[in-house]
Amino acid sequence: MLSIKRMIAPPTIPRDVFEGKRMTYWKKCGIAFLAFTLNAACTLVGPTTWAHDDENHTHETPVKVPAGITYAPTAVPDRIVLTWAEDPTTTQSVTWRTDTSVETAIVEFATAEDGPLFVNHTQEKAAKSETLETNLGLAKYHSVTLSGLVPNTKYVYRVGDGVNWSEWAHFITASDQADPFSFVYVGDAQNDLKSHWSRLVRQAYSDAPRAAFLLHAGDLVNRADSDAEWGEWFYAQGFIPRSTPCVAVPGNHEQSKIANEETGEVTRRLTNHWERVFEFPSNGPESSRESVYWMDYQGVRFIGLDSNNDVESQAVWLEKVLQDNPQNWTVVTFHHPIYSSKRGRDNSELRDLWQPLFDKYKVDLVLNGHDHTYARTGLMAHGSEKNVPSGIRAQSEIAGTVYVVSVSGPKMYELGREPYMQRVAEDTQLYQIITVDGDELRYVARTAVGRPYDGFTLTKREGKPNQLVENVPDTPERVRPEADVAEAEPVKRNADQVPVVTSSLRLTNPEAKDQDDLCVWRDKQSPEHSVIIASDKSANRLFVYDLEGKLTQSIEVSKPGNVDLRYDVPFQGEQIDLVAVNQREDGFKLRLFRVDHETRELVAIDQGGIATGPNYGGCLYRSAVDDRLYFFTTSKEDGCEQIELSETVNGFYTGKKVRHLDVGMSEGAVADDQLGLVYVATETEGVWRFEAEPTGQPEGTLILQIGDNGIQGDLEGVALSYDDNQIRYLTVSDQGSNTFHVLPMVGGSSTYRFSIENAEETDGIEVVTDSFGPKFPKGFFACHSHHDESCPILITPLPSILNALGTN
């Protein structure tokens, strides 16, 4: 009979786990376990009261497991990945991770057999080990390159320390002949790797289980140094990288930000994870080891470039690699596209530098990412895109290079279609299976559910460009609908000849009294399910609306002021979308919430708020220098305070004042995280620009002055937006004239000016330029209005405003 003593013993948990934010999770697990075992013990000695016998019972709220626990290394190997550092015909590299307790790391391997007796004649090879300090703690990475292998042979291997082993897994060496093979190519995985990318990469494996390798065109993760994201990248693939080698080049999101402590200058370098996680060839330029390289595989030369850094020196190296190329086919991969598929982007310098070499040495296929859309060209040469009239397919008569941009993760951009693009897609996750068989290369693109979407065949022809045969399936093209804007309607104007635009949506509810500020949360996976968060200082509420105008949530906050948000903010070992609002009664505070992606509701994470001192409005700022988070509180009388927000050991935020800005009475403010600037709209002077870093100069610059451009004063809301060419625009509400001024941030002070019908005495505004689904495919402008008792939020499609201004 099982002893009661054994049954009620709590789980043994390492003492160091009970530190900081890990304690909450483990404490709950321990308490839950103890409650269960005590209950079980009671069944042996007497009656038991079950959980639901008591009508006053309460349920424990589920606790999010911290990333530091979910992705903690142990002595058991994980993050096992096959790569090649040398010749794929006779070598195989393998890398894995453990905790720092592991002193001995080895690979055991043998030629694979039909049964288990291979274990009687295995070999061992010791690994080299390196420590990596990450944001989640220390880990050891181990790597081995097995050499002297037999071409075209299946091997079995496992990794470990002699006691703690991985499972046995297979790999196959490349043939030393140009035998047929397939590989899988994917663009940016980057975001929501565990929840969304996982289904795509597993579907790709299902469709091509014998693929020679999986090729990544950069942006494997979103934040280069986030160990949790690297953990998700491995989790999403399961066993795949243990048996299917990985070939990858870095994207811009694999670049770490490094700040010079003396000058504050921010530079970027390849994340330390890269060389620990992967073993790629070291045959590239000295400054780009393992991020620029080449390898030959069964009749194909694969060349990986780093489009983030030092592209000029890579061009010199690239020409030498292309000159000395005995292979029948040449495939080049790098992150930034030669032919951009995102609207407004164009990497012309890269195209002018590298594409002539692709033409000269007859590169067959170029595989890119970065633009979060899909586009595939015909046969292109440098400059041939300039000679293509609308509607005519581009094909070069002197070279045969096909260019592809693809995306495998859920993050999506707006397509910038060009006449030379043979097949395009928006809001579509794709993987590509490419087969090389002698003089023929077959390409098939499939969606996340395995549906064929694009295809072509290239055939080698002696002394001529490749023959391109289109094999596009009858799958309908997946592109967003065009915005329905009545451009032919005459533009209304007020007495001052300022364009007047009519809004299309009005947000209010029976509780609303004065909704004088707002922010917009965009659902990256389903933009049409995004929400608008309004603060109502008179109702003492935050209201959450969907894009149909339906009220979905109401939260009590004492006299809320300005509301702002930032995406992917670290919190309790994960990344959240953070919403902040200043509170002006029952104590001056900053209230913090996260957006629940499933329910699209706000969840408080601030333990009642962070004391700020007197506040009136403000905005968030996230430093590009060191990723620290701040809130600028504006004031009716005492300038502007910069408050640093930092996470405590208990997993909540605390605030500390780090700087004071001497500026007049103000409420509205907005920060430019990328440039490190903050803009403050004062009610009697104009808009001031300040350096946003706490070490920046305390003096500001008045960039927009009351009295200029018809600005009458009492400036309130201020918003920052970008167009397709990444030009910044600052929009400000002028209560004195009931108009809005748009300042292009190109060095001048002239503004565009418009008004919204029934928008009066406007406080808060917001401008969003991304797609928000069929209702707002090209973004919208949102503003508070004091026109009636509820002070509604008015929503206007952005194209309607641009049309009225004559800039559409």
pLDDT of 745 strictly over 70: yes
| 3-state SS, residue 117 | helix
Domain 75-175 shares a fold with domain 493-805:
no
Average pLDDT value for residue range 546-550: 95
**pLDDT confidence bin for 59, thresholds 50/70/90:** low
pLDDT of 21 strictly over 70: no
Residue 57 is predicted with a pLDDT of 54
Average pLDDT value for residue range 488-513: 86
Q: How far apart are CA 557 and CA 590, in angstroms?
A: 10
Flag the least confident range among 62-71, 514-523, 614-623, 705-714: 705-714
Closest CA to 23 of 68, 71, 60, 75: 68
| 3-state SS, residue 89 | coil
Contact 607, 588 (CB under 8 A): no
Listed ranges 106-115, 508-517, 700-709; the one with the highest mean pLDDT:
106-115
Q: What are phi and psi of 797, to 5 degrees?
A: -55, 135
pLDDT of 179 strictly over 90: yes
Tokens of 574: 């994960």
pLDDT of 487 strictly over 60: no
pLDDT of 702 strictly over 70: yes
Q: Which residue has the higher pLDDT, 760 or 155?
A: 155
Residue 358 is predicted with a pLDDT of 96
Q: Which residue has the higher pLDDT, 570 or 92?
A: 92
Residue 365 is predicted with a pLDDT of 98
**pLDDT confidence bin for 58, thresholds 50/70/90:** low
Q: What is the average pLDDT score of the chain?
A: 87
Angle at CA of residue 545, ends 539 and 547, nearest 5°: 150
pLDDT of 797 strictly over 90: yes
**Secondary structure (DSSP) of 705-748:** ETTSTT--S-EEEEEEEE-TT--EEEEEEETTTTEEEEEESSS-
Which fold would CATH assign to domain 178-470?
Purple Acid Phosphatase; chain A, domain 2 (3.60.21)
Contact 91, 99 (CB under 8 A): no
**Secondary structure (DSSP) of 22-85:** HHHHHHHHHHHHHHHHHHHHHHHHS----GGGSTT--PPPP-PPPHHHHT---SS-EEEEEE-S
Tokens of 619: 């905005």
Residue 41 is predicted with a pLDDT of 40
pLDDT of 260 strictly over 70: no
Average pLDDT value for residue range 119-130: 97
**Secondary structure (DSSP) of 265-295:** -EEEEE-HHHHHH------S-GGGTTTSEEE
Residue 713 is predicted with a pLDDT of 79
Residue 306: count other Cβ atoms within 10 Å of its Cβ.
26
Which fold would CATH assign to domain 75-175?
Immunoglobulin-like (2.60.40)
**pLDDT confidence bin for 787, thresholds 50/70/90:** confident
**pLDDT confidence bin for 691, thresholds 50/70/90:** very high
Q: How far apart are CA 473 and CA 450, in angstroms?
A: 13
For residue range 732-742, list pLDDT tens digits in order: 999 888 899 99
Q: Where are the domains of the chain?
A: 4-63, 75-175, 178-470, 493-805
160-184: burial string, b at 16+ Cβ within 10 Å, e else = bbeeeebebbebbbbbeebeebbbb
Expressed in angstroms, the distance from the first to the final Cα of the chain is: 81
Percentage helix, strand, coil for the chain under 3-state DSSP, each rounded to 5: 15, 40, 45
pLDDT of 38 strictly over 50: no
pLDDT of 396 strictly over 80: no
pLDDT of 550 strictly over 60: yes
**pLDDT confidence bin for 483, thresholds 50/70/90:** low
Residue 30 is predicted with a pLDDT of 45
Residue 552 is predicted with a pLDDT of 96
Which fold would CATH assign to domain 493-805?
Neuraminidase (2.120.10)
Q: How far apart are CA 582 and CA 562, in angstroms?
A: 6
Query: How long, in residues, is the chain?
Result: 808
Instruction: Name 390's Cβ contacts closer than 8 Å, sequence gap at least 6.
Output: 419
**pLDDT confidence bin for 394, thresholds 50/70/90:** very low
Contact 719, 731 (CB under 8 A): yes
Residue 386 is predicted with a pLDDT of 62
Residue 808 is predicted with a pLDDT of 58
Longest Cα pair distance anywhere in the chain, in angstroms?
93
Contact 260, 268 (CB under 8 A): no
Closest CA to 671 of 662, 659, 682, 681: 681
Flag the least confident range among 15-19, 331-335, 572-576: 15-19
71-92: burial string, b at 16+ Cβ within 10 Å, e else = bbbeebbbbbbbbbbbbbbbbb
Residue 407 is predicted with a pLDDT of 98
**Kind of pairing between the strands at 137-146 and 686-691:** unpaired
pLDDT of 217 strictly over 70: yes
Q: Which residue has the higher pLDDT, 185 or 723?
A: 185
Contact 35, 100 (CB under 8 A): no
pLDDT of 755 strictly over 70: yes
pLDDT of 10 strictly over 80: no
